[in-house]
Amino acid sequence: MSIFFRTGLGGQASADPDATVAHVQDYAERGMVLGAQRLLIFSVALVLQAFFIRVEYVAISVVLIIVAEVFDARTFAQARALRLGDGENLRTVLRRIHIGAAYGAGVVSFLSLSIAMGQGGTSNFIPMFFLLSAALFAAMNNHQLFSALVIRLGIYGATFLAIPLLGLVLSQGTFGHEAWLNFFASLVVIYFIADCSAIGMRYYRTNRRQLYQLRAENARANKALDAKTEFLSTVSHELRTPLTSIRASLDLAMAGAFGPMPDKSTQVLGIAQRNATRLSALIDELLDLQKIEIGKMKFDFCEVQLAGLVADAVNDNRSYAQELEVTLKMLPVDTDLYVRADPMRLEQVITNLLSNAAKFSDPGSEITLGVTATDDQIRISVADQGVGVDPADHDRIFDSFSQLDNSDIRKVNGTGLGLNISKRIVEAHGGLINFEPNEGGGTVFYIELTRLAVADAEPRLRAVN
């Protein structure tokens, strides 16, 4: 979509009406913002007018200014209401803008000329300075519409040339050196204003072009994201059904449902079972990530007693830790600690922290889960005695598909999604997830949630195992 356009002085829309609508609305928005500044300029002119000429001229000027402001206000309102494809209304608004530009510039010119008349042609400084201020104001703020700017500056330019001539007539002088000096000074001022207008227009058009490019890139990025989301969701769902059947068959075989098997077969089936479990976890994480990204992950919030929830999480992960030769230890938790949470999702986060700690812990080490609380906050901490997290990894450890160095520090590979999903779940709870070094070596990951008062809690009771 091109942003370079011209609007005819008769109100004809450009070949790109969508771009014209954008420029017209920018013009209207700017005009509404600058209402107070316009009134200030008019007020200064009225004061000068009252000082140099009769009060009757001031009254006429006040009426002219009110008409201009009311007309422009209605035009700006119509411009803001424009919609793409509304060609007839666009042409109407353009005509009103052109009429308003001509009328407003005419009011300014009337004020300037009346002040010059009041001075009797003795000096042109005050009316010329006022006119210069108005012209610069237009050059800096009316560059959204080329045609409106041309109208204003054309009228101001004619007035610049008329003021010195009016001074000669009123003073009954001849067109001598001073008159020529004033005339050429007016030409220089007109050139200066035109140059300022050109700079403003180039700056505005450059910004508009960049804005359109950013919008186009954003649209393409959103389209690609939607395609990726749909692809991952479809693939994940299609894989889940056959994978469930494979896992069920492997579980039955490993449980001896098909009779005793040779040791080599048991070993191979065990590898297949573990990898099927990993693949199933990956699919679940991908589905969770997609739900979070498109805002469709559902949360069933209720008042939860933490003692039972963290105990369940520890017990559910104890066998996994034993496979990695790591011990899970749960410190005593007060039974009067409550949070408002989705218990399934919160347990998912705690499980992720426990499994990560087990992956990065040395055999024979211990992982400790503890819960501490203040009057208004609860912290759930998972401390390991592993190699620890490099401070340089702090900014990326919660990113999607981010993993620490795939070296000997990890006993089990993962997807790099767990911490990112956990972070989003905790943030959906209005909480915080972070980590810090463990004093005894290793890392402490912690979750901070708002504490509910016991009197306010109606917990979904969970047995403390």
User: Beta strands 338-341 and 377-383: pairing type?
Assistant: unpaired
Tell whether the model's pLDDT for residue 282 goes beyond 70. yes
User: Beta strands 327-330 and 366-373: pairing type?
Assistant: parallel
More confident residue, 290 or 73: 73
Query: What pLDDT band is residue 3 in, cutting at 50, 70 and 90?
Result: very low
- Tokens 């560059």 belong to 143
398 SS3 class: coil
Pick from 148-157, 341-350, 384-393, 417-426: least confident = 384-393
pLDDT for residue 408: 46
| Nearest in space to 368 (alpha carbons), one of 465, 441, 461, 448 | 441
Mean pLDDT, rounded, for 363-373 = 92
pLDDT for residue 173: 55
Q: Tell me the domain boundaries of the chain.
A: 17-173, 302-456
Tell whether the model's pLDDT for residue 415 goes beyond 60. no
CA distance 360 to 405: 11
- Provide the β-strand partners of residue 292: none
Domain 302-456 classification at class level: alpha beta
CA distance 423 to 413: 20
pLDDT for residue 16: 65
Quick: pLDDT tens for 243-261. Answer: 888 888 888 888 877 778 7
Pick from 34-43, 218-227, 272-281, 316-325: least confident = 272-281
HEC-encoded secondary structure of 259-274: CCCCHHHHHHHHHHHH
Query: What pLDDT band is residue 459 in, cutting at 50, 70 and 90?
Result: very low
Mean pLDDT, rounded, for 295-307 = 86
| Nearest in space to 152 (alpha carbons), one of 71, 97, 115, 79 | 97
Pick from 115-124, 130-139, 239-248, 316-325: least confident = 115-124
CA distance 79 to 5: 17
Greatest mean pLDDT among 39-53, 372-386, 395-409 lies in 372-386
CA distance 418 to 285: 7
HEC-encoded secondary structure of 83-130: CCCCHHHHHHHHHHHHHHHHHHHHHHHHHHHHHHHHHCCCCCHHHHHH
pLDDT for residue 412: 53
CA distance 181 to 43: 30
Tell whether the model's pLDDT for residue 327 goes beyond 70. yes
pLDDT for residue 307: 92
pLDDT for residue 407: 46
- Provide the β-strand partners of residue 432: 448
More confident residue, 136 or 413: 136
Q: How many CA atoms, within 13 angstroms, populate the side-chain half-sphere of residue 153?
A: 25
CA distance 189 to 342: 70
Residue by residue, DSSP assigns 6-64 as ---TT----S-HHHHHHHHHHHHHHHHHTHHHHHHHHHHHHHHHHHHS-HHHHHHHHHH
Cα maximum dimension of the chain: 125
pLDDT for residue 182: 62
**What letters, b where the CB count within 10 A reaches 16 and e where it falls short, cover 74-113?**
ebbebbeebeeeeeeebbebbebbbebbbbbbbbbbbbbb
The whole-chain average pLDDT of the chain stands at 79
Pick from 12-16, 118-122, 421-425: least confident = 12-16
More confident residue, 3 or 139: 139
Pick from 285-289, 426-430, 434-438: least confident = 285-289
Tell whether the model's pLDDT for residue 50 goes beyond 70. yes
Percent of the chain with pLDDT over 90: 22
pLDDT for residue 71: 93
Please state the φ and ψ torsions of residue 373, each to the nearest 5 degrees. Answer: -150, 150
The answer to whether the Cα torsion of 373, 379, 380, 386 is positive or negative is negative
Query: What pLDDT band is residue 461 in, cutting at 50, 70 and 90?
Result: very low
| Nearest in space to 283 (alpha carbons), one of 240, 241, 229 | 240
The answer to whether the Cα torsion of 267, 269, 275, 281 is positive or negative is negative
Quick: pLDDT tens for 125-137. Answer: 778 788 888 888 8
Percent of the chain with pLDDT over 70: 83
Tell whether the model's pLDDT for residue 69 goes beyond 70. yes
Query: What pLDDT band is residue 297 in, cutting at 50, 70 and 90?
Result: confident
> What is the CB neighbour count within 10 angstroms for residue 331?
12
Pick from 173-177, 200-204, 422-426: least confident = 173-177
More confident residue, 456 or 341: 341
